[in-house]
Structure 1
Amino acid sequence: MGKLSGIRVVDLSQFLPGPMLSLMMADQGAEVIKVEPAAGDPARSQGPFADGHSIWFANLNRGKTSVVLDLKSEAGKAALTELIQRSDVFIEGFRPGVMARLGFDWEAVRALNPRIVYCSISAFGQQGTLAHHPAHDMAVQALAGVLCVNDGPDGTPAVPGVPAADVAAGLTGLAGILMALIGREQTGQGDYLDIAMFDSLLPWTAHIAGSALAGGPSPNSSNQRSLGGAAFYNVYETADGRHVVLGGREIKFARSLLTALGRPDLIALAEADAGPAQAPLIAFLRETFRTRSRDAWDGFMSELDVAYAPVLDFVEALAQPNVAERGLIRGHHIAPAIRFAGQAWAPGPVPELGGDRA
């Protein structure tokens, strides 16, 4: 029995934010009914594949059921109406205005089921200047200011490796839905959530956007403590073309490493302001790390009190002992990050397109 057993979710969303949200509910026992068009969620066709399914799709939709409905047809509308009347949560990820045109906006759905929690997920929200602007994750990151600090030493923004806006929206939506379900126990009424990827990402910038929030200039990565301006929070290339990171700026870590390297005279620089004042220390460390291989540095620093890590690729990362020790991979599935004490977990089956009845 999962924590959400007995909760029924109707999920019309596709791709990543909505499916990730409902996956976390399914992993905790909620019954999630994935409503798909005849062509299916586009993620179904995104390789690579294993066991007959897209690994992406499987990891975001395991444990759900799939029904195919044409929401422009009377039969499809009737079937969705019936699902709504016996469900607790409704999730949609269409552009603003689509659900109203289909006849299933918040007001219509609330009329069918006053206890339902309705969650809309979009790039920029249901109202506002950008509401109808088409965008996926990277465009949202760009407009939120995040991409400008996802840059290299030359200041050029790079394509982000993690879809932070997508994930932020999924996590924020989950938190909101669970709050609404708790609130429903007191009021007996459902609620509506307008979750925007843009809105969800902004709180993640509180530690880096301080200058702009205070009315000053935009942060510059090369002068920021956690964005590349500090020697002990930085990425360094090694002799074999790989990389290591120093990931802790506490002076005890600088003292430990610089003493071991025979340069205790540089310790004071690690306490200087990020940016030009630390440039000599960064230069020294860049030159030093290029003298040994990544794995040699890993062995050297493992004996010291230093917050560091070798930069691993995914094959290396997933092969680490702690991944197996913590049961984080099962077959081709990534285990849920939310697991309760004594709770066993196994991935649920991946739904075949339209393999279930509404």
Structure 2
Amino acid sequence: MSGIFSELRVIELSADVTGSMAGQICADRAAEVIKIEPPGGDVLRHVDSYDSGESKLYESLNRGKQSVVLDYDQSDGLKLVKALCDTADVVIASQPKRPLPSELSYETLKIQNSKLVYLDINAFGRNGNWADSASNDLVMQAYAGNMLSEGKTEPDQITPRAIVSTQMSEYVTAFYALLGISSALYHRARTGVGQEVSTSKLLTMLSIQSARIVTNDLADKKVIGFRNRLLELRTEGASLAKIKSERGKTAPRVINAFYRPYQTRDGAVFVGALTRNLRDKARGALNTTLLGRDDPNYDTRNDEYYDNALRQQAEIEAYLKEKTTEEWIGILEASGVPTGEITFPEDLYNSEQLLENSYIAELDHTSGRQIHVMPHAQFSAFPDPEITAAPSLGRDTTRILSEIEND
């Protein structure tokens, strides 16, 4: 298989979504990716498994790889894993529940393999009180502020609701990690020297909401008081209800009629008018005079003003239900307003848009034909990547280990 990473050998020592995804992207780019699995198999094989050692989650993250079963908790297994790492261009280390033995650290491996690019993926960073803490995606969303900033709560209006549709910290960290690997490989191509690349899921969660993390006293006049008050409340040991009440004083009620989902007669559509120019176009398409935040007298603290705006928004909602999704998409697009049908993932298997762009394809697997999402990037020099399904547990153990013995 030819590709950007052809002739690169990647040893994957992962037990999570992030490391597996990073390894899969390497495989999609034609690297030889050898996934080291314990005797019972990668833990992801057993998440909602439909058969012994087989799950959709594992299969979605491990296409194009080779599976080698070795127990590096045993001296013989550790010796063989280290021997494989000595032949690697890249090692991906992502073990959220337990650290790798020192024999598989970058400091040890670089002695025999000075050109090695070693990717270390951790949760909270290498330093600090949380450095060795176990984590998963929802823990990261909670710690990094995403869960509370989302504003969604349980029926008590206080307890934050988990964001479960996408494992943001896991998947996005994998893409950041590949940027690190690619940069280190570029440096190695120029200098002949490898290096360790470290990233964390916490840093990922901060980066994807950086506009909320960045401070600017001129722009933050309305929230500076709460920032200071928050420190006081945390010191006092205040309840979440009290903290949210205090925050609400600095967060005025919002009317957001032109950047939100709406029900239609037969489904739902998203209206994506984020700028003033687009909102003006949306007002015409939706037959409304609601100005919202474009009103120079915008004041949602005024109950009469707020109630009137809500009434106009309700009229828009009723109006959208009079036509079909297809009709509204036509109207909004003709007006120059970004829009899209709101779908379930199950709607996408037969999507002409996905099929026309080769974003999904069928692969042969031991369980039968499977539909998979194709590689995230398409390269003009390698237009037709040869993608294979995820391996069965230990499928390549004998062959790979015989290569080591022969060397």
- Give the counterpart letter for 2:87 in structure 1: R
- Indicate the residue corresponding to 2:210 in structure 1: 206
- TM-superposition CA deviations, 1:261-320 (whole Å, max 9, x none): 433x32475466998389554652344324554961441342232222232111223432
Q: Deviations over 1:322-347 (max 9, x none)?
A: 01111111122111111112611342
2:258 match: 232
Contact 1:124 1:198 in 2 (8 A): yes
Contact 1:223 1:229 in 2 (8 A): no
Q: Deviations over 1:138-177 (max 9, x none)?
A: 1111111111122338575332211111112111111111
Structure 2 distance, partners of 1:327, 1:222, is 49
| TM-superposed deviation, 1:260 | 3.7
Aligned residue for 1:71, secondary structure, equals coil
Cα distance change of structure 1 residues 108 and 316 upon mapping to structure 2, 3 Å threshold: same
Q: Give yes or no for the alignment of 1:250 onto 2:278.
A: no
| Counterpart residue identity of residue 283, structure 2 | L
- Asked whether the equivalents of residues 269 and 341 of structure 2 are also in contact (C-alpha less than 8 Å), the reply is yes
Task: Name the aligned partner's letter for residue 159 of structure 1.
Answer: A
Which deviates more from structure 2 when the two are superposed, residues 326-335 or residues 272-281? 272-281
| DSSP-derived class of the 2:176 partner | helix
Work out the CA distance in 2 between the residues paired with 1:292 and 1:34: 50
Segment of structure 1 superposing worse, 284-293 or 274-283:
274-283
Matching residue of 2:193? 189
Letter paired with 2:116: I
The residue aligned with 1:126 is 126
- TM-score, normalised via structure 2 length: 0.77
Q: What is the distance in 2 between the residues matched to 1:34 and 1:221? A: 49
Out of 313, 327, 338, which is 1:285 matched to?
A: 313
Deviation, 1:251, is 2.8
Deviation (angstroms), 1:38: 0.6
1:340 to 364, 369, 379: 379
Letter of the structure 2 residue corresponding to residue 313 of structure 1: F
Q: One-letter code of the match for 1:230?
A: N
The verdict on how the C-alpha distance between 1:18 and 1:328 changes in structure 2, with shifts beyond 3 A counting, is same
1:90-113: per-residue Cα shift (whole Å, max 9, x none)?
A: 1111248722x4522121111121
Residue 313 in 1 paired to residue 344 in 2? Answer: yes
Residue of 267, 278, 290 corresponding to 1:266: 290
Amino acid at match of 2:27: A
Supply the AA of the counterpart residue of 2:328: F
Corresponding residue number in structure 2 for 1:164: 168
Deviation at residue 15 of structure 1 after TM alignment: 2.6
Instruction: Determine the C-alpha separation between the residues in 1 that align with 2:116 and 2:27.
Output: 17
The letter for the 1-side match of 2:278 is F
8 Å contact from structure 1 (residues 68, 354) kept in 2: yes
Whole-angstrom CA distance in 2 between matches of 1:40 and 1:10: 16
The 3 A distance-change label for structure 1 pair 328 and 294 is farther
- Number of the residue aligned with 1:276: 300
**Equivalent pair of 1:330/1:347 in contact (CA under 8 Å):** no
Q: Distance in 2 between matches of 1:20 and 1:274?
A: 46
Contact 1:237 / 1:286 at 8 angstroms: preserved in 2?
no
Tell me the SS of whatever aligns to 1:194. Answer: strand
Q: SS of 1:208's equivalent? A: helix
**1:325 match:** 356
**Structure 2: distance between partners of 1:127 and 1:24:** 28
**Secondary structure, in 3 states, of the residue corresponding to 1:183?**
helix
In structure 2, what is the Cα distance between the partners aligned to 1:27 and 1:119?
18
Confirm or deny: 8 A CA contact 1:232 1:270 kept in the other structure.
Answer: no
Task: Give 3-state SS (helix, strand or coil) of 1:266's partner.
Answer: coil
Q: Which residue pairs with 2:231 in the alignment?
A: none
> What's the counterpart of residue 32 of structure 2?
31
Paired with 1:166 and 1:273, the residues of 2 have a C-alpha distance of: 43
Partner of 1:181: helix, strand, or coil? helix
- Asked whether the equivalents of residues 269 and 281 of structure 1 are also in contact (C-alpha less than 8 Å), the reply is no
Indicate which of 300, 308, 312 corresponds to 2:328.
300
Root-mean-square deviation (CA), in Å?
3.3
Q: Secondary structure at the match of 1:338?
A: coil
SS of structure 2 residue aligned to 1:125 = coil
- Given the superposition, is the C-alpha separation of residues 268 and 129 from structure 1 closer, same or farther in structure 2, using an over 3 Å criterion? closer
Aligned residue identity for 1:127 = N
